[in-house]
């Protein structure tokens, strides 16, 4: 029975990953959330699930002690093993997610964004959160059958995509995700000889407004539409458009299932995944 740990699954892409994985009775799905009481979409999914194979663990991704405690709790249920770790936890703000270097009123505002507000906390979640997650669950993964560690990455953190798509926005968020992609490469080097497959998989441009919190659904939708329009203006024939969480995750999970040692340390873009599956 394959076991999965989904780090960050209370809404959006993570929630859909949990939904699709749990639809197979053979899978055991553990999902971490920052707050169990606030994870209303996940609670609804668990209540309506056909199988009783979803286990919710409360652990903030930036709290390494909480993650370690969650791993210990999981070990009791699995006999000490884990097959696949999927890190989906990410920090982003719809109001400033797509800001470029010229979108700040002055240098001080840019510094605040990168060093004190969004990017500083995003670095803790997007980069250090991934490190702490891998370190916490690594003892279980060593005893697993597939030894797969997957970061849900983004084209916005890849230099070649940024260059081709003229993606001058997402400067703060993209920088943190670029750092996370480097962490993937570092773990790949560390663990490849032990049979681990460590890779970053991009979900594409996903409309997650339906499960947004705090009434921010419309803000997310408008920000997404604006970004899509910018990309299409730069490259009219560039086939990159917003997709649903269901379509995105279907592709992502097929990619994860097909990962082998040849993918270790790599970033796999959404278009590349679609091409491989067609």
CATH number of the domain within which 164 lies: 3.40.50.720
* 152, 88 Cβ separation under 8 angstroms: yes
Q: Residue 218: which domain range?
A: 3-277
* 126, 179 Cβ separation under 8 angstroms: yes
Question: pLDDT tens for residues 219-268?
Answer: 556 666 666 666 666 666 655 677 899 999 999 999 999 999 999 999 99
Pull the structure tokens for residue 166: 């003229």
Helices (H), 1-63: 12-22, 40-48
Q: Using CA atoms, how far apart are residues 133 and 166, in angstroms rounded to an integer?
A: 32
Query: What pLDDT, on a 0 to 100 scale, did the predictor assign at position 227?
Result: 65
Query: What pLDDT, on a 0 to 100 scale, did the predictor assign at position 208?
Result: 82
Closest CA to 142 of 71, 230, 220, 59: 71
Beta strands 84-87; 54-58: pairing state? unpaired
| Chain mean pLDDT for the chain | 87
Cα 116 to the center of its chain, rounded Å:
23
Mean pLDDT of 154-158: 87
Model pTM score:
0.88
Q: Which helix (H) or strand (E) holds 86?
A: strand 84-87
> How large is the C-alpha radius of gyration of the chain?
18
Q: List the single range of 141-150, 204-213, 230-239, 241-250 with lowest mean pLDDT.
A: 230-239
- Cβ–Cβ contacts within 10 Å for residue 69, how many? 15
* 180, 134 Cβ separation under 8 angstroms: no
Q: Is 256 helix (H, G, I), strand (E, B) or coil?
A: helix
* 12, 45 Cβ separation under 8 angstroms: no
Query: What pLDDT, on a 0 to 100 scale, did the predictor assign at position 249?
Result: 97
Please count the CA atoms within 13 angstroms of the CA of 148 that sit on its side-chain side.
Answer: 27
Mean pLDDT of 198-208: 91
Q: Using CA atoms, how far apart are residues 77 and 51, in angstroms rounded to an integer?
A: 16
In this model, does residue 213 exceed pLDDT 90?
no
Mean pLDDT of 46-53: 94
| φ and ψ of 151, to 5 deg | -100, 130
DSSP category for residue 143: T
Q: Which residue has the tokens 């773990």?
A: 187
Q: List the single range of 14-18, 158-162, 169-173 with lowest mean pLDDT.
A: 169-173
Number of separate domains in the chain: 1
Choose between 18 and 225: higher pLDDT. 18
- Cβ–Cβ contacts within 10 Å for residue 117, how many? 15
Closest CA to 199 of 148, 156, 236: 148
Mean pLDDT of 172-201: 94
Pull the structure tokens for residue 78: 């699995």
In this model, does residue 93 exceed pLDDT 70?
no
Q: List the single range of 60-69, 134-143, 144-153, 154-163 with lowest mean pLDDT.
A: 154-163
Q: Using CA atoms, how far apart are residues 158 and 177, in angstroms rounded to an integer?
A: 8
Q: Using CA atoms, how far apart are residues 211 and 205, in angstroms rounded to an integer?
A: 15
Q: Which residue has the tokens 């379509």?
A: 247
Cβ contacts of residue 120 below 8 Å, gap of 6+? 114
């Amino acid at each position: 029975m394959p076991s999965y740990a989904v780090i960050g699954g209370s809404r959006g892409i993570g929630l859909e990953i949990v939904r699709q994985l749990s639809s197979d009775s053979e899978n055991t799905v553990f999902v971490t959330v920052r707050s169990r009481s606030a994870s209303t979409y996940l609670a609804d999914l668990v209540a309506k699930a056909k199988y009783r194979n979803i286990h919710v663990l409360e652990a903030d991704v930036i709290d390494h002690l909480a993650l370690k405690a969650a791993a210990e709790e999981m070990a009791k249920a699995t006999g000490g093993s884990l097959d696949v770790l999927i890190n989906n936890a990410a920090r982003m703000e719809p109001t400033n997610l797509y800001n470029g270097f010229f979108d700040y009123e002055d240098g001080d505002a840019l510094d605040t964004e990168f060093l004190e507000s969004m990017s500083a906390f995003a670095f803790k979640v997007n980069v250090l959160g991934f490190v702490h997650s891998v370190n916490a669950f690594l003892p279980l993964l060593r005893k697993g059958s597939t030894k797969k560690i997957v970061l849900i990455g983004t084209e916005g953190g890849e230099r070649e995509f940024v260059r081709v798509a003229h993606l001058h926005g997402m400067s703060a968020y993209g920088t943190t995700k670029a750092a996370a992609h480097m962490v993937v490469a570092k773990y790949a080097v560390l663990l490849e000889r032990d049979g681990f497959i460590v890779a970053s998989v991009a979900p594409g441009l996903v409309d997650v407004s339906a499960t947004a919190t705090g009434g921010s659904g419309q803000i997310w939708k408008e920000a997404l539409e604006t970004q899509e329009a910018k990309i299409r203006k730069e490259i009219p024939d560039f086939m990159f458009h917003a997709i649903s969480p269901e379509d995105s995750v279907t592709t992502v999970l097929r990619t994860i299932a097909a990962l082998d040692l040849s993918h270790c340390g790599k970033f796999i873009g959404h278009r590349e995944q679609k091409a491989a599956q067609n």
